[in-house]
Structure 1
Amino acid sequence: MIENRSGSRRAAKPVETTVLAVERALQAIEMLSGAADGLSLAEISRELIINKAIASRLLETLEHAGYVWRDNIAQRYHLTYRVSNLGLRQLQQSGLLGQCTSLLEDLAERTGELVRLSVVERGEKITWIYAVVGTRRTLRIDPNFNFEVSIHSHATGKAWLMTLKPERVAELLERDGMAALTRHTNVDTKVLRKELDAASRRGFATTYEENEIGVGAVAAPIMAPRLSGGTECVGVISVAAPTNRMTRAEIENCGPLAAEVANRLALMWPLDERAPVRLQRPA
């Protein structure tokens, strides 16, 4: 069994279909990506459910390859920038950011708020990849205040869910859960379903202090044409603002602007980003 940082356990794949050392190395990289203060050898060993000797050899290999560095004073491991550099290189090769940047910057200036672009990764998760903040405001939201997209409480997550079939939404919610992140977070699936239906009709989703106190947001899905026909949500555009500057109604007024940009991005989305591929669930 393999346990991830969220505490859920999953069975390891059979040895004949995977190289366990590689799988564990990738899991270690994912763990370190979410650890701002790094992780100790004991913590990594415990998370991967392996002994310290194996964990030490694994980390030495990653360090030699340039993906990990060790703080010899604190005895903690951290990721290097090599991983992020690979991600940026992939984005540059796809041409995605080059085509989107001007539209995102224009939206940030029009609203004066934080605008973010996220992409749907292989139909399994949604990830922020770019953020820009309007220059007309002195009080701003940190674009890196949270790297995790909670699909039931973030406007970005809701904008993705509103494009999916109910049974797929149920699968994702069962997988990720519906934790109460603030006193305003909705944890009722029936209420969320009604909210998603309403969001689908108007073209954008909203959140108001459901994920973070003092923050409201709107988000619109990027529905790009599929190579096989039809459309698919490939990403989301969101606008977030402090609630002490914008009321719920004022933030929702940014929804049509986000939807307009999302529609324009859908027309220029790189072809190689449109092929829908679903990850298979672990056995």
Structure 2
Amino acid sequence: MGEIRFGGRVAIVTGAGTGLGRSHALGLAERGAKVVVNDLGVSRDGSGASSEAAEAVVDEIRAMGGTAMAHGTDVSDEAGVKDMVAQAMDAWGRIDIVVNNAGILRDKTFAKMEMADFRKVVDVHLIGSANVAHACWPIMREQKYGRIVLTSSASGLYGNFGQSNYGAAKAAMMGLMNVLHLEGARDNIRVNTLAPTAATRMTEDLLPAEAQALLAPETITPGLLYLVSEDGPSRVILGAGAGSFSQTQVYESTGITLMDEDNTPEAVAAQFDQITDPAGHVEMTDAFSQTRKYALNAAKARGLKLEW
């Protein structure tokens, strides 16, 4: 594979004033992309606002000879997102890459969490990602090219104590990716999910100093740059951290089929080990893959021939 470049491409990177977003924006610009540096400039919990961080990254990009603009909208504000996209189109006439990275934390155990804090975290991570992707979607469809990355987390994929709001929002990225991958395929829109572990202000209280030194955001950005490249994949959850990269996949076990009077909760309990046996598990490519599997299993158990 040749060198990955982004000459002539326009990218929007949200939450790009610090940490991972900053690293992604600099990486794209270094390889030729024009970059919209989006950052509201809030604190870790989403309070306050300042344009300084975004403007500082724009200055860094321009100092290296690149092209960039800053935009300070809250990604959960649909009108603000539309304004950001309009400004990018007015300036550069296209949008090729969207990196949804903006996020906040409001950690607390579920029992103690206010629902307003649950809702705000979901609004920023999930609704914010959907807002930006939705505003860019018709542009990408018309130009028959688009690369979108959603940012998940091990907290969403595997769980983390005290992060029910963040974990729920981050798990939702997989569902959004799966559908956008299917809907975008005919227009050459590829959609992936990055699940990073990095030393940023979001994790500074959670990681020992030795780990923070290894988990620099710059160790993750190469994976992001591949995901948004012209020959990048689609529908991949890429785990990344400290230069390590891996794929997270969801599989379904072979399972069992219970018929008629044998289909009881007691039978499910008695055969639960077989239901959960990972041997022969397969990846489902869409929702109807599972529907088809179950219908064919039931037909086979009854000696019926089902064409599907």
Q: Tell me the TM-score range normalised by the shorter chain.
A: under 0.3
Higher relative contact order (CA 8 A, sep 6+): 1
Question: Normalized against structure 2, the TM-score is what?
Answer: 0.24
Larger CA Rg, structure 1 vs 2: 2
Question: Normalized against structure 1, the TM-score is what?
Answer: 0.25
